[in-house]
Amino acid sequence: MLFSKTGGTIELGVGLSWRPEFARDVHKLVGKLDFLEIIVDEWGGHLLTENCERILGKLPTVLHSATCSLGSTYPGDATTAILSSLCDHLEPRWVTEHISYSQAGEYEVNNFLPVRYEDDSAVQLAANTNALSRQLAGRRVALENTCYFFNHPGSEISEKEFLIKLACNKVPIMLDINNLYVNSCNFRYDPMEFIRLIGDACEVAYLHVAGHRESGGWLLDSHDVAVSDVVWDLALEAIKLTSAEGIVIERDHNSASIQEIQCEIERARSVWTEGRQSRETKS
Ligand SMILES: [Fe+2]
């Protein structure tokens, strides 16, 4: 085991990926959350209003970005200035991005394209990630495993081996349990073996959980339904077996009532508490 799983003095706990739709009922979330994940690319100063900050208090935050395209050979830096100013404002515990690219030269797509799983790509991605960390005054930057629907031609190693290569290059992982489950079904591998390997080899910043649905024989990371039981079960194991400092619920597309969000938060609290107690017992 390379990383402490006792949590040390830093613990995030149960968090929510913040959406402007939640602002109307924000008073119903008082005392239920330990931290918020702020999505950088939707930030305009209006998503987390002063009113929300006043009601929820100054909760710890993490910043989540989707447009740095760190998997590109020459990632753009359009987001860096926004990230930097948000870091000054929010003092986030983590900044997170994706193991993917969305830009290649003058071309840009509105999606997460999978990187080629090979040594050179891991070294390049790690270099870009560590460069971003330096641009953000040394803040910790972790990378999220994404859903993918094809294996990149020329990939020489598996996804989990690629994540371990990133760990060897000092890049922490933000482990999305729903993405892991969706990929494991679409490409037929054992998600528990994946969690065990990552837990042993990688520093895990925190976890994402979200909903998925089936379409045309594929599972899709739709984020528009409740988190499934199997994803909660895997999240519990990940809390036990990795260094994750917290768990974040992702619910997008304006599809959830505040009651549904409250239920998801309660479930996350229960899973987090059980997983952390198990981790403490083993340490
Ligand atoms: Fe995610």
> Which CATH number is 174's domain given?
3.20.20.150
Residue 190 lies in a domain: yes
CA of 174 to the centre of ligand 1 (A): 8
**Residue 177's pLDDT is what?**
98
d(CA 53, CA 60): 11
CA of 151 to the centre of ligand 1 (A): 19
Tell me how far apart the terminal alpha carbons of the chain are, to the nearest angstrom. 12
User: How many A from CA of 209 to the centre of ligand 1?
Assistant: 7
Half-sphere exposure of 13 (CA within 13 A, CB side): 15
Phi, psi of 204 (to 5 degrees): -105, 120
Q: Give the domain extent around 271.
A: 13-282
Q: How far, in Å, from the CA of 258 to the mean position of ligand 1?
A: 20
Residues 69-101: tens digit of each pLDDT: 888 876 667 678 888 988 988 889 999 999 988
Distance CA 144, CA 207 (A): 9
Whether 5 maps to a domain, the answer reads no
| Model pLDDT, residue 4 | 46
CA 210 – ligand 1 centroid, Å: 7
Return d(Cα 26, Cα 21) in angstroms, integer.
9
Angle at 251 between CA 260 and CA 34, to 5 degrees: 80
Query: What's the maximum distance between 2 C-alpha atoms anywhere in the chain?
Result: 52
Instruction: Compute the distance from residue 208 Cα to the ligand 1 centre, in Å.
Output: 5
Q: Which residues does 215 contact at the CB level (< 8 Å), separation at least 6?
A: none
Rounded distance from Cα 223 to ligand 1 centre (Å): 9
Residue 8, domain member (yes or no): no
pLDDT at 80: 84
How far is the centre of ligand 1, averaged over its atoms, from the C-alpha of 207 (Å)?
8
Q: What is the pTM of this model?
A: 0.92
Task: With respect to residue 6, please indicate whether it lies within any of the assigned structural domains.
Answer: no
85 CA to centre of ligand 1 in angstroms: 23
Q: What pLDDT is stored for residue 98 in this prediction? A: 94
> Which residue is associated with the tokens 């929010």?
90
> How much is the mean pLDDT over the chain?
87
2 lies in a domain?
Answer: no
> pLDDT digits over 181-218, tens only?
999 999 999 999 999 999 999 999 999 999 999 999 99
What CA–CA distances, in Å, run from 183 to 4, 205, 221, 247, 273?
Answer: 27, 20, 9, 20, 27
What's the rounded Cα separation, in Å, for the pair 283 and 278? 9
For the chain, the domain total comes to 1
- Report how far residue 228's alpha carbon sits from residue 245's, in angstroms, rounded to the nearest whole number: 22
In a domain, residue 19? The reply is: yes
Residues of the chain with pLDDT under 70: 1-10, 42-51, 74-76, 78, 105-106, 253-254
Find where tokens 């992982």 sit: 173
The rounded Å distance from CA 124 to ligand 1 centre is 22
